[in-house]
Structure 1
Amino acid sequence: MSEKKNWVTRWDEVPQREEVKLDDKPWFHGKIAREEAERLLEPWRTGTFLVRESTHYVGDYTLCVCIDSRVEHYRVILDHRKLTIDEEEYFTSLPELVSHYSEDADGLVSRLITPVVSQKRDGGYSSQFEKAGWSIERNQITAGRVIGRGNFGEVRKGSYQGQDVAIKVMKDDKLQSQSFLAEASIMTQLRHPNLVQLIGVSSGASLWILLEFMSKGNLLDYLRSRGRSVVRKIDQIKFSINIASGMMYLEEKKFVHRDLAARNILVSDEDIAKVSDFGLAQHDRDLVEKSKIPVKWTAPEAVRNKHYSTKSDVWSYGILLWELYSFGRVPYPRVPADNVIVFVEDGSRMQPPDDCPDSIFDVMLKCWELNPTKRPTFSSIQRRLEDLKRQLLTDTKKMETDF
């Protein structure tokens, strides 16, 4: 009896469809009253927000932000074609202002986390996926067993058109679904053999997001369950190159992952490593609000100042390499998470894993430069690893010949 094949046996077999680019101001509700804004923001979860036209100051706006069980209303002043809340930071547009306060509260009661989408602008987010060819009817999908869980809901193995897929089943939560659809729109714009592929979205009682099914699970579990008896040095460097290639593509697209770690790398049936959660995980931002930043994987400037960039992803990649060559050990094994940033800022670094080649540890150390500008690009990392792979293959062939 033949087994089902994965939806994507080759990443480029996925039909090319249009990119979904959602409205850049879905949170703008126009001229609504204060009371209407507060009604729309119920149940007042911290970080939920919208923007409306000011009812008292013509030409200005009001940013409405939830904190605990109340709503704060901030006047956004239009001053010489620039927008400001505190007359210290100025922005050229509302999306720029929202983007800034999404990264850092910077004086607000909360960082902006979840937008309340205007129904006038929404037109149904899901309808935009349908127009672009990404919408899938629910009756075409068979959902199977649960294979993972997260704050967003659960992940199930399923099938679509006779192929295995992974299904992210979102909680029945309109605000969160809107946020995830916004992130899924990013995935429609990304296409690379070392990124997990979006297959489509399905709307119903809950939102389903279909992804390429990776039969061997995440890299962390893969390493821990197989160990040195199965995972060879050539496998380690191939995985390293796979991940660097996917990240190089994201670097070129100016997309920041924010949570690069072995747990977010998936392994295909063909032993190809692919970066996952590059769209859907990073806006599960309750983790950040609850100070659960994965400190041991995160660059110091991102922990201290929430300054995420491709260079902070490079730092995380160095940690991921350490995980890969230690066969899934937790980084900084003798350093408490609360002390990690002081540890690295003082100039200390982890020791190389057992049997880790010096050349690979050198790549890790370059990724862990305290000054982000001194860290390598993913492009240069990938080239260096390709060189090391060729050298390893040459050395292996020579040993076999000598033997």
Structure 2
Amino acid sequence: MCLTAELFYVRDGQINEYALNFVVPVPATITDLHFTWQSLTRKPLPYTLHVDVTDQQNAMHPPTVNISNEGFVPTEPQTWRVDLPCTHTVAAEVDIIIFLNVSTGSSSSALRFRRKKICLKEAPRPAVRVDSVPHAPTSADIFYAGAGCAGGALLIAAVAAAACRARARKLRRARSDEQDAHAFLPDSSCKSAASYTSYRRPTSLPAAAAEEKARDLQQRIAELTIQRCRVRLRSVAMEGTFGRVYRGTYADEDAREQEVLVKTVAEHASQVQVSLLLQEGCMLYGLHHERVLSVLGVSIEDQTAPFLLYPWNSTWRNLKQFLLACRGVTVGGAAGGAPPPPPLTTQHVVRMALHALDGLLYLHSQHVLHKDIAARNCIVDENLRVMIADNALSRDLFPADYHCLGDNENRPIKWLALEALTKRQFSPAADVWALGVLLWELTTLAHQPYAEVDPFEVAAYLRDGYRLQQPANCPDELFAVMAYCWAMSPDDRPTLPQLQIFLRDFHTQLTRFV
């Protein structure tokens, strides 16, 4: 049986900051947003309305609203509309914030609804109607707003269609490549102190294909939602300033338990940190590949920190912690509690690099850029098989790997390609650069790249032609691969298929001598 799910922004006078921090993508086939509101008091409530747009490429005409910017929330349900017309001159994503302030006399409520409008260079096919509130699978959000003076109830609910229970259960269990539902979470243009590097569809990849992958955020959360009572936390795997990673178990509707890894935050975490956990934790949702670890489920309950669940095995470990253990560095809380691993050979390193490359190649085939490829964001099992994971909580769990250059953005400076570092230009070639740094991490057993270089000097250092030094005991052929990945021009860097061919051939040569 299919169920309808509601995501409340405000309920019983309590604002749900988690929901307000979501950035909801608006597909290219949706040209307007419809809102239904009502004052639950016996008198109209004054409001002010404003729509703010960040559009540097002129991808969208100025939005229009069919109600006045100031007025009163009606006492009867009424619907108003925000039109978001694209120019169709360029393919881009436009950041939109709808500001709504409602006054109850003694106080006022200021709400911000964040959207990411997807505009294509060519108008989408007119087969999809967008002149009215669409049906749930492709709906713009419908909001219900009301206010009460005695109870202080300002209710704003975003109504979206949840998946059928059986389909949601199937999605949570699926680990095959046959699933074709892919979620994209565009990155924010906000440069706040807690801003983050997530992934977005690259403009160099087909915009139409990327558009097909865009999914309604509320539907995605509904598909992932699980009951908190089915989750049991057993032990702490990793711990940061506010981030917590637990080992635990999850019991599905048939009471079958499976091991899981749970990412969450402490009670003192800010709402922005909670929002980043959810957004970055869902970045690989719907992507199924043996070299990619994607989220299994999400538990969001009122007044508690959200849980993000990942399929887990007691023999799996964080790759960076594993590499540190290989060179005898004591690391607390390594997931799985495995004994010290045996020494790695060059053959091991190349095979692990191929695993990470296969995972990244799959992400790019789905028009997804990772933007934070590094050992800290990978998982390795007892057979040295590597999987790429998301970067949720990485800034908190590995603070030495991220730096702020005075722009209030904490970024993996020493893993970024020059154009990504200086111009924030991300592409498959930028991921290739980071893959080269990951290969360097594998050969050095997780030494810090550019440890002697101040983060503020990294851009100049790279611009002058300096790169990471060849690690000890690293074959010249393998270091040459890294050096090619760090070419100044993105066009001069090898593609992932080219790297795959070379590393496979090199691995074959190594195997012949063993």
Please confirm whether the aligned pair reaches a TM-score higher than 0.5, indicating the same fold: yes
Tell me the CA shift for residue 170 of structure 1. Answer: 4.3
Shift of 1:119: 6.7
The residue number in structure 2 matching 1:362 is 480
Structure 1 position 160 matched with structure 2 position 250:
yes
TM-score, normalisation: structure 2: 0.54
In 2, distance between residues paired with 1:360 and 1:375? Answer: 15
Question: In 1, are the aligned partners of 2:378 and 2:389 still within 8 Å (CA)?
Answer: yes
Alignment partner, residue 326 of structure 2: 226
SS in 1 for 2:376: helix
Q: Report the structure number with the largest CA radius of gyration.
A: 2
In the TM superposition, residue 187 of structure 1 has moved relative to its aligned partner by 2.5
Query: How many angstroms apart in 1 are the aligned matches of 2:47 and 2:68?
Result: 18
Residue 389 (structure 1) shift: 0.9
Counterpart position of 1:241: 354
Match of 2:296 among 183, 194, 199: 199
Q: In proportion to residue count, which structure has more helix?
A: 1
**Which one-letter code corresponds to 2:443 in the other structure?**
Y
Partner Cα distance (1:308, 1:34) in 2: 44
Matches within 5 A, 1:194-343: 194-204=291-301, 205-213=304-312, 215-227=315-327, 230-277=343-390, 290-343=408-461
Which of the residues 442, 457, 463 maps onto 1:345?
463
CA contact (8 A) 2:64 2:83 kept: no
**Displacement after TM superposition at 1:299 (Å):** 0.7
Equivalent in the alignment of 1:190: 287
After TM superposition, list the pairs within 5 Å mapping 1:78-97 onto structure 2. 82=87, 96-97=93-94
Using the TM superposition, give the Cα deviation of residue 269 of structure 1 relative to its aligned residue in structure 2, in angstroms: 3.4
Which sections of structure 1, spanning at least 5 residues, go unmatched?
Answer: 1-21, 42-51, 62-75, 84-89, 100-113, 397-403
Query: Does residue 381 of the first structure (1) align with residue 499 of the second (2)?
Result: yes
Deviation at residue 233 of structure 1 after TM alignment = 1.9
| Number of equivalences | 323
TM-score (norm 1): 0.67
Decide whether aligned partners of structure 1 residues 353 and 24 sit closer, same or farther in structure 2, where only a CA change above 3 A counts: same
CA contact (8 A) 1:53 1:59 kept: no
Structure 2 runs not aligned, ≥5 long: 1-22, 38-44, 53-61, 70-81, 97-111, 116-140, 144-156, 161-215, 252-256, 329-341
Pairwise CA distance, 1:391: 0.6
Secondary structure, in 3 states, of the residue corresponding to 2:426? coil
Query: What's the CA shift for 1:394?
Result: 0.4
Spell out structure 1 runs of 4+ moving beyond 4 A. Answer: 26-38, 52-55, 58-61, 76-79, 114-119, 124-127, 170-186, 278-282, 284-289
Structure 1 residues 123-156: Cα deviation after superposition (integer angstroms, max 9, x where no partner)? 2688734764x33221111012222245773221
For residues 34-183 of structure 1, what are the structure 2 equivalents within 5 Å? 82=87, 96-98=93-95, 116=114, 120=143, 122-123=158-159, 128-129=219-220, 132=223, 134-149=224-239, 153-161=243-251, 162-170=257-265, 181=278, 183=280
**Structure showing the higher strand proportion among its residues:** 2
CA distance in 2, matches of 1:254, 1:305: 21
Cα 1:230/1:37, change in 2 over 3 Å: farther
SS of match in other structure, 1:353: coil
Cα deviation digits, residues 284-310 of structure 1 (max 9, x gap): 999795243221111110111111121
